[in-house]
Chain A
Amino acid sequence: MGRSDTLIFGCGPMGQEVAEQLIGRKLPVYMYSSDLDRVAEVLAKGFDAAVLDYTDDDKLRQAGIGEWVKVIFCLFPEEAKNVFLTLSARALDPDLKIICVSESPQSGQKLFAAGASKVIDPYEISGRKVHELIARPMIVDMLEHTVFGKHLDIAEIEIPLDSCLSGNPLSALDLGRRYNVVLMGVVDVEMSDSLIFSTSGVDHKLDAGDMLVVIGPTVEITRLKGDLEEDRTDQLLGG
């Protein structure tokens, strides 16, 4: 049994898709299912997988929930299984990130009540995307090729301790000119998990631990990260 941070429960097409995406981002995953055939199928495709009875808390603990596991995905096709697994996992580890899929808004609420950190409704999102394709085809095309394609990345960059940026207002940053990136906003992790947009009108004062959210080419983001780590005032804030 591997000691991977991320577990996927459910080896159906959805589980395989998520596993593929995560592995593509160099995040090792381990897949579990109560269905032997499914496990055999994903093993044959080259994923790491094992059979696990998710109704047994001891088995879950052995799999690492409450120990080293940080994220689990509940991707069973059956709603009830996902709710049950979410409840069990939440009871074992209050800090665990639990990500579920839901089929309908009602089941989404149930999953949140059971303790899920994030519920993804694939149909809702697909429906909205189809609508966007009709309403604003140009923008969708542009985003498909850039942000969701290979050209541009979205990144969260943490401001390190004692950075020269601390104490500066958000509006004083002119990252767009110094780096070829667009600064979308900042997340003040101490206050809340939501994004403060740089256009919101609230001039947030930056401090260490805040996350800058930027979109840009990978090279530029790496350069920005590097400069932040080395705390190069001349580069970040200019003369």
Chain B
Amino acid sequence: MDNTHRLIQSSYKLKDSVRYRRAKNFFYDLLENPKARIRPYFDVFMILLVVSSVWVLIYDVRHDMGLFDDLFEWVAVTIFIIEYLLRFWIYNDSHKVILSHYERAEFINQPFRAWPALREVVAKKWEYMTQPLAIIDLLAIIPTYRPLRFLRIFLLFRLFKLFRYTRSISEFVKVLNEKRIELFTLFIFMAFITFTAATALFFFETDVADGKGVGSFFESIYWALVTMSTVGYGDITPHTTEGRVVTIILIVAGLGVISFFTSIIVSAFGEKMHEIRAQRVFSEVERKHIDLIVCGYGRVGQVVADQLALDQRQFVLVDPLESNVRLAKQKGYLAALGDAADSALLESLGIATQAKRLLCLTGDDVVNVYITLSARQMNLEIEIISRANHRENVTKLRLAGADHTVAPYEIVGLIAAEYVGQPVAFEAIYGMLTGQNDVGIEAVRVRSGSVLDGRCMADVGFRQRKLIPFGVVREGGCPVDSSSGTYEIEGRCFHFNPTPDFELQAGDLVVIFGHEYSVVHFRDCLERGTL
């Protein structure tokens, strides 16, 4: 009874101990946490250790390294043992198991019994020990049995996980697994042929003169496999006519088996290839921290992608059409084949974690609304820009959670209407606004303490710099008694065509028109603090 009491007391102590928790967290970060910064370093170290210990093992076969070999072996094994024990330790919290048992017993007013709790503790740890990777770990630290030491190379598999190689490896295993019925059929067929041919050969060739015959049934099985696989070492050859007939049949059957096997594997990979490629894209997105997802590589998507590439921005494209994805890849863009309406796909592209912007640019409003809605549910912060092909869908997209909508037809309507009225002006200005001319619209931020801070518009000398001041955007609402020419824009105040005595403040955004050279020169002057 006293022991039980002590068990509970120490469990509570562990639960309360900050140091214990911190230590456990540290080792969790080091060994398991995929997001921890320290983990990659540890993994690289372990890979080097494993590779070098295997190398020493190989080198040792032919060379005598003396004391160094043993010393290195001991160091490596010690580290492996420590790693194994640490993983064993951090797999779960045993004190929590005990405490949950205890608290449950208290709750239903039953006496606490230590044995079931301890049994569960052991069961949990056993669960860890029987995991394949843990078994490989264990095998890698059995140094006494020399041939088995080579199994340490299995440890590489676990460490590859960090470099996301297991995605490909698990993919490979999945491919084989999916074809297990075919492979099993093939195996049965092969076993049948091998057995029949081996028996026949054994039957015909055992009593051949000169002792050239097949010695044992095992030898004839070996011969059948070597012949069937088209390897054909030629160390055992048939001498009787009957034996040669068996060989002919076996060779023909062997060709069938080999081609059947190859076709199973090839077709399985063919079916799986796009998934494997998608995995590549996902890991690239994660590795490069790509935060911009573009759904739809149609006409609008193509223009956007080209523009973004010009800006050297990173993005990932999603399109359900293979031809579009191929086109994108030809241009060197990162593209995933798939339906963006599939939330699993968006999830894999990091919509809930690292994505900051989503563009829905498909030609189908229903799809756009659906993507917008599901993306908004997965991530409340993300900025969504959606294409609206029909005017009435703008409100639906807004309701679904789009921050901005772009409507191609509406833009055409607007341009067409203005073009009829005042063709040149509108075209020129629209070109300017969309950055199609050398002359463009730019915004310059007034930084605190810069030369612009506190200066009047007249003193900046826009005219000499061949710039036209268009307006100033200032944080905060518009003053109530303001004259004409100030407009409220989403909590900010836009001062159109500010008067010469308008004083600039830090934080203002000065919107100017001008040739790109003038703008660049102006920015340059501001950077250097000379006007």
Give the residues in chain A near B411, CB-CB below 8 Å.
Answer: 122, 125-126, 129
Q: Is the CB of B487 within 8 A of A145?
A: yes
Q: Which of B46-54, B81-89, B431-439, B447-455 contacts A (4 or more CB under 8 A)?
A: B431-439
Verify if B507 is at the interface (C-beta below 8 Å from A): no
* A171 (CB) vs chain B CBs: closest residue: B463
Q: Is the CB of A128 within 8 A of B435?
A: yes
Complex CA–CA separation, A143 to B489 (angstroms): 10
- Digitize B413-427: 1 where CB-to-A-CB distance is under 8 Å, 0 elsewhere: 111111111111111
Residues of A bordering B, CB below 8 Å: 6, 13-14, 17-18, 20-22, 24-25, 27, 71, 73, 97, 99, 101, 103-104, 118, 120, 122-136, 138-139, 141-143, 145-148, 151-152, 154-156, 176-177, 180-185, 187, 193-195, 197-201, 211, 213, 215-217, 219-220
Q: Is the CB of A184 within 8 A of B497?
A: no
Given the interface contacts A131-B304, A142-B494, does A122 sit within 8 Å of B417 by beta carbon?
no
Q: Total A-B pairs in contact (CB under 8 Å)?
A: 221
Q: Which of B99-107, B108-116, B129-137, B295-303 contacts A (4 or more CB under 8 A)?
A: B295-303
Verify if B387 is at the interface (C-beta below 8 Å from A): yes
Main secondary structure of the interface of A (DSSP, over half): mixed
Verify if B338 is at the interface (C-beta below 8 Å from A): no
Give the residues in chain B near A177, CB-CB below 8 Å.
Answer: 499-500
Give the residues in chain A near B490, CB-CB below 8 Å.
Answer: 141, 145
Enumerate 22 A-B pairs (CB-CB under 8 Å) in ascending A order: A6-B420, A17-B413, A25-B417, A27-B421, A99-B419, A123-B303, A125-B408, A126-B406, A126-B407, A130-B300, A131-B304, A146-B487, A146-B494, A151-B487, A154-B418, A183-B468, A187-B425, A197-B515, A198-B468, A199-B468, A199-B514, A199-B515
Give the residues in chain B near A180, CB-CB below 8 Å.
Answer: 484-485, 496-497
Given the interface contacts A103-B299, A125-B408, A126-B300, does A13 sit within 8 Å of B420 by beta carbon?
no
Q: What is the minimal beta-carbon distance from A159 to any residue of chain B, in angstroms?
A: 14
Verify if B225 is at the interface (C-beta below 8 Å from A): no
Interface size class of B (residues with CB under 8 A): 35 or more
- Digitize B455-479: 1 where CB-to-A-CB distance is under 8 Å, 0 elsewhere: 0000000000011111101000000
Q: Is the CB of A142 within 8 A of B466?
A: no
Q: Is the CB of B304 within 8 A of A21?
A: no
Complex CA–CA separation, A98 to B409 (angstroms): 18
Q: Is the CB of A182 within 8 A of B470?
A: yes
Give the residues in chain A near B416, CB-CB below 8 Å.
Answer: 18, 21-22, 73, 99, 120
Q: What is the minimal beta-carbon distance from A211 to any residue of chain B, in angstroms?
A: 7
- Digitize B398-410: 1 where CB-to-A-CB distance is under 8 Å, 0 elsewhere: 0000001011111
Complex CA–CA separation, A215 to B422 (angstroms): 13
Complex CA–CA separation, A194 to B391 (angstroms): 32
Q: Is the CB of A154 within 8 A of B426?
A: yes
Residues of B bordering A, CB below 8 Å: 292, 298-304, 306-308, 311, 313, 357, 359, 361, 385, 387, 389-391, 404, 406-429, 433-436, 439, 441-443, 466-471, 473, 484-485, 487, 489-490, 494, 496-497, 499-500, 509, 511, 513-515, 518
Picked from B390, B406, B429, B500, the residue with its CB within 8 Å of the CB of A129 is B406
Give the residues in chain A near B311, CB-CB below 8 Å.
Answer: 131, 135
Picked from A103, A135, A146, A148, the residue with its CB within 8 Å of the CB of B496 is A146
Q: Is the CB of A125 within 8 A of B434?
A: yes
Q: Is the CB of A128 within 8 A of B425?
A: no
Q: Is the CB of B428 within 8 A of A213?
A: yes
Picked from B404, B413, B434, B466, the residue with its CB within 8 Å of the CB of A128 is B434
Given the interface contacts A133-B385, A180-B497, does A17 sit within 8 Å of B410 by beta carbon?
yes
Complex CA–CA separation, A180 to B413 (angstroms): 28
Q: Is the CB of B406 within 8 A of A18?
A: no
Complex CA–CA separation, A27 to B421 (angstroms): 9
Picked from B387, B425, B436, B484, the residue with its CB within 8 Å of the CB of A195 is B425
Q: What is the minimal beta-carbon distance from B364 to any residue of chain A, in angstroms?
A: 13
Q: What is the minimal beta-carbon distance from A238 to any residue of chain B, in angstroms?
A: 14
Given the interface contacts A17-B391, A195-B424, does A122 sit within 8 Å of B408 by beta carbon?
yes
Give the residues in chain A near B303, CB-CB below 8 Å.
Answer: 123-124, 126-128, 130-131
Q: What is the minimal beta-carbon distance from A124 to any residue of chain B, in angstroms?
A: 5
Q: Is the CB of B425 within 8 A of A130?
A: no
Q: In this complex, which of A21, A22, A199, A213 has the most chain B Cβ atoms within 10 angstroms of its Cβ?
A: A199
Q: Is the CB of A181 within 8 A of B497?
A: yes
Q: What is the minimal beta-carbon distance from B477 to any residue of chain A, in angstroms?
A: 14
Given the interface contacts A101-B412, A151-B487, does A131 sit within 8 Å of B514 by beta carbon?
no
Question: 17 extra interchain contacts, Cβ-Cβ under 8 A, other than A129-B411, A143-B433, A184-B429?
Answer: A17-B410, A27-B417, A99-B419, A125-B434, A130-B300, A132-B435, A141-B490, A152-B496, A180-B484, A180-B497, A181-B497, A194-B428, A197-B513, A199-B439, A199-B466, A199-B514, A213-B422
Q: Is the CB of A145 within 8 A of B391?
A: no
Complex CA–CA separation, A213 to B415 (angstroms): 16
Give the residues in chain B near A200, CB-CB below 8 Å.
Answer: 439, 466, 515
